[in-house]
Structure 1
């Protein structure tokens, strides 16, 4: 029984070391292998922690208690299950929910405020800078009102048509900025 526990402990530690050193390479190689299971808690980190804790708890129970082999296995599995659940709900799941994307759709820009960087002629195209998330993006724009708009003027995106922002000069009320 001790060999099983040692094998799980050493295997779990080796998995952790290999994951730290070669994680990106392995992630790309086995990406989607367990997708058919489609169970969130079967995360490799959770499974590896279960195996490692099972081995470590089994070794400790074998060395410091006089319990039978079956009771050692059951208690080691319970300890591994508790630690894995704590790891999943305390680390893995919050990290999955915190992932951010910097991607956006140009259609989402309608209603946003921007600034003209290249003047917009009455019937032509220019360029507008719009803040998206933590960065500024530059987009081809045309005047919605068919009026020229100078560089540096604040505008509002009225609509997006054919990948071009159709903007109108922003009329700011006194006291607002």
Structure 2
């Protein structure tokens, strides 16, 4: 009977330690480069937590052999960790995590003129960027005048000023 209580204590302490490490990793995991593969720190921690929780519960609820309890706990933990990795971690890691953008990334996109752009002067365009619309200072690419409401193509960005030209869409085969 003493051996069963001892194993329960080992599982219980392992569960507490893994729980504390999980909380710490949730807060500070981005600071470390623990790896992004199948055997990353988060999947290893999930496996150890589930194994210790299963071992503790099986020792508490059953009178099975200790080797059988360890084996069953590890099999169940492996299945749940596999599901955790492939159904939670992989989709989260491939999801877009930022709506940030740089002005240079906007070159090649279209925008709408909201303040007319005079020749040899500045106006303003409205650019769809980062999940919203952002007004930006603009000048004509070859110093041409561009009227309000016209669609423009962003050619380049120099010193925070967007260099644009009038946008002429290419006709598709259906429109010819």
Give 1:112's aligned residue: 109
- State the alpha-carbon separation in 1 of the partners of residues 21 and 117 from structure 2: 59
Change (3 A) 1:56 1:38: closer
User: What is the TM-score when the length of structure 1 is the normalising length?
Assistant: 0.73
- State the alpha-carbon separation in 2 of the partners of residues 118 and 51 from structure 1: 61
What is the Cα-based RMSD across aligned positions, in Å? 3.1
- State the alpha-carbon separation in 2 of the partners of residues 84 and 73 from structure 1: 16
Change (3 A) 1:52 1:111: closer
- State the alpha-carbon separation in 2 of the partners of residues 9 and 119 from structure 1: 65
1:8 aligns with 2:14: yes
- What runs of 5+ residues in structure 1 fail to find an aligned partner? none
- State the alpha-carbon separation in 1 of the partners of residues 170 and 52 from structure 2: 69
- State the alpha-carbon separation in 1 of the partners of residues 113 and 151 from structure 2: 6
Give 1:89's aligned residue: 86
- What runs of 5+ residues in structure 2 fail to find an aligned partner? 1-6
SS at match of 1:148: coil
User: In the alignment, is the contact (CA less than 8 A) between 1:8 and 1:54 conserved in 2?
Assistant: no
